[in-house]
Structure 1
Amino acid sequence: MSIQHTVHFKIIRPHETKTLHGLIFLEENQHPTVEDYAKCLKLCGHDVVIHDADKFIFKAESDGQSYLIDVLEDFEKRVRDLDAENLSRSFQKPNPSF
């Protein structure tokens, strides 16, 4: 049975950095390999070659410019509860005087 695995990766260009994600499907109890990550990045439109296999860093090129892609193995998305934040703001004084 295939299990969906979300891959988070950082695209590092000279003047910008973006964090994106893709999907790979693995068999149960299987861990992603460098080749799995490379296939995912190619399906996302990046022409990649392995730059550092131990750290899962790839090198890609687009429009004559090369850039790096770092697969974030321990990525944890920050979760914010906007309702709780808005509720807490309603208890704050607009102009507190100290």
Structure 2
Amino acid sequence: MRKEHIVYFKVIHKGEASLLRGLLYLEEGQEPTLQDFEQCLRACGHDVRVIDQEQFIFTANRDGEDYTIDVIEDYEQTHRDLYSDSLNKTFIKKDRIL
């Protein structure tokens, strides 16, 4: 059975870093490979080349400018996603006292 696996990427462009997410579908118990990460980035519109296979670091070029994409393997979300929290609240049934 295939399961969703969220992947976090740090995109470094012009000295600024941005955090992006991607989604992989992997067989249960399977770990993502370099090719999985590469395919995910290409699907997101990045024309990537591998520059460090062990650290999963890629380089890409857009509009004549190079930028770096680093896969964050042990990412722990330390901040709350307010959009997700708001969406989750719409599914919570509120108890009404009559």
Alignment of 1:1-98 (within 5 A): 1-80=1-80
Partner of 2:11, secondary structure, is strand
State the 4+ residue runs in structure 1 displaced beyond 6 angstroms.
none
Equivalent residue pairs, number = 81
1:49 offset after TM fit, Å?
0.8
Q: How many Å apart are 1:79 and its aligned residue? A: 3.9
Following superposition, the deviation at residue 14 of structure 1 comes to 1.9
In structure 2, stretches of 5+ residues that fail to align are 83-98
User: With structure 2 as the length reference, what TM-score do the two structures score?
Assistant: 0.78
The gaps in structure 1 that reach 5 residues or longer are 83-98
Q: Which has the larger radius of gyration?
A: 1
Secondary structure of 1:37's match? helix
Offset, 1:45? 0.9
Shift, 1:33, TM fit:
0.3
Aligned counterparts of 2:2 and 2:53: Cα–Cα separation in 1: 24
CA distance in 1, matches of 2:22, 2:29: 19
Q: Distance in 2 between matches of 1:50 and 1:43?
A: 15
2-structure distance, mates of 1:4, 1:28: 9
Give a deviation string over 1:40-65, Cα, whole Å, max 9, x none: 00111110011101000001000000
Residue identity over aligned pairs, in percent, reads 49
Query: Where does residue 96 of structure 1 map in the other structure?
Result: none
